[in-house]
Chains A and B, each alone.
Chain A
């Protein structure tokens, strides 16, 4: 049996992490499936575990400066019902997993699990969300889109724990979320899309497009977005082919049990097109 600790508070958790590279376990909805053993046997964890889900000091949602600050052990079901949760994040969470799974899963788990098909990351990338990573002696803030390096790879350091997710307050006139999956609940995306835009006086003032499940990490290309700012929506619509070609270079899906390359690529391009046509 590996070593286990249920820390009483955050300070104790940070001390344990400083002494040894414990694996932080939040809701466990990814970890328990990945380490599944035969029924009745303990899961096959190889590293010592730090159970953090019930650290009440990390369960909160509040306004802090110009940001929404979310404690890392806040569950997704609570976020779904909370008035401070940004609209687009709420839309995404509403189709993640099921009520039973949402009650015991977290944003930090979705981020550090770093799946190319992670759904909450669509909204977190679009909103320029950041995570606060703490160790006993350090604290740093990292953009979620920079935290994730590749499938199951992040830049979280061995002695760090995510304590907070920070989302800058932003307003949009248009927000769209589409998830293509095999079932309404409990489905991993074949491909999913978030689009956000702010149109003022018939000019695109803000544009954000994010896709999952079509490359090793989620796609958000700020360089493409900024080329289309301060133009009228019908200019974007008339130059659709140029926009789609720019995205096509980044859309590199794979074949797997859920879908295939051709379907994923075509669907991703259709979703971008559909969104721009609604502006």
Chain B
């Protein structure tokens, strides 16, 4: 057992548990945040994505120890921001959501991309989303949504 301290959705928290546990399990089972999903469980699909210090990371292969003293934000807290509101409107407008299971991860990937590069080209958007799989949409509607979000959200990123 080790005590891990980090900022979780804006609040400083401490957890005393096995630090080798997958951060995804800690999020879903201990912290009861079920926005991050388990798809593949091995880093390939992005359904479990969260923001660590503003950058996308897959929580299913992230040992809890590695978030020690870092800033974590999940889709639950991100969904209360202005940036989220822009992304949400764009995803709805472009019809980018079908079954929805990939969407929390897609939104985290969009935020991470725009945070780093507020004006990405189409190819940069595809690279930014390349670690996120979607079984329903065929991706083009999601790419369009990111283009719309970057236009309508100018100045926010």
Residues of A within 8 A of B49 (CB): 100
- B46 contacts A100, CB within 8 Å? yes
- Docked-complex contact B131 and A29, CB < 8 angstroms: no
Query: How large, as a class, is the contact surface on chain B?
Result: 35 or more
Instruction: Tell yes or no: B33 within 8 A of A by CB.
Output: no
- B4 CB to nearest chain A CB (Å): 8
Instruction: A84 to B29: give the CA distance in the assembly, Å.
Output: 42
Contact B19 A99 (CB under 8 A): no
Is B56 touching A4 in the complex (CB atoms < 8 A)?
no
Residues A28 and B130 in contact in the complex (CB < 8 Å), given A42-B18, A54-B68, A100-B49: no
Please report the number of residue pairs spanning A and B whose Cβ atoms sit closer than 8 angstroms: 104
Question: Which of B7-15, B59-67, B85-93 lies at the interface with chain A?
Answer: B59-67
Taking the nearest CB of chain B, how far is it from the CB of A85, in angstroms?
16
A147 is an interface residue with CB less than 8 A from chain B: no
Which residue from B4, B55, B66 sits with its C-beta under 8 Å from A27?
Answer: B66
Q: Any chain B CB within 8 A of the CB of A185? A: yes
Q: For the complex, what is the distance from the CA of A40 to the CA of B25, rounded to whole Å?
A: 5
Pick the contact of A53 from B2, B22, B61, B66 — CB < 8 Å?
A: B66
Taking a contact as CB atoms closer than 8 A, the residue among A6, A45, A100, A184 that contacts B109 in the complex is A100
Given A6-B68, A29-B43, does the pair A104, B20 have CB atoms closer than 8 Å?
no
Known: A40-B29, A42-B21, A54-B69. A104 touches B130 (CB 8 A): no
- A100 CB contact (under 8 Å) in B29, B65, B70, B131: B131
The distance from the CB of B41 to the nearest CB of chain A, in whole angstroms, is: 7
Q: Which of B2, B63, B131 has the most CB of A within 10 A?
A: B63
Residue from B22, B56, B69 within 8 A of A32 (CB atoms): B22
Q: CB of A49 within 8 A of chain B?
A: yes
Known: A32-B62, A185-B131. A51 touches B19 (CB 8 A): yes
Identify which of B2, B109, B128 contacts A4 (C-beta below 8 A).
B2
With A27-B66, A42-B21, A100-B131: A36-B58 Cβ-Cβ less than 8 Å? no
Determine if B42 and A33 form an interchain contact, defined as CB atoms under 8 angstroms apart: yes
A220 smallest CB distance to B (angstroms):
29
Residues in B neighbouring A53, C-beta threshold 8 A: 65-66
Contacts of A32 in B (CB 8 A): 22, 43, 61-63
Complex alpha-carbon distance, A5 and B128, angstroms: 34
Report which of B29, B61, B128 forms a contact with A99, defined as CB distance below 8 A: B128
A53 to B57 Cα, complex, angstroms: 14
Asked if A186 and B19 sit within 8 Å, CB to CB, the answer is: no
> Which residues of A pack against B, CB within 8 Å?
1-2, 4-6, 25, 27-29, 32-33, 36, 39-40, 42-43, 45, 49, 51, 53-54, 77, 97-101, 103-104, 184-186
Q: Can you list 12 A-B pairs, Cβ within 8 angstroms, ordered by A? A: A1-B18, A6-B65, A28-B61, A32-B62, A33-B61, A39-B25, A43-B63, A49-B20, A54-B68, A99-B109, A100-B56, A103-B56
* A-B pairs with lowest CB-CB distance, top 9: A98-B131, A185-B130, A51-B65, A32-B61, A100-B56, A100-B131, A100-B58, A33-B42, A186-B44
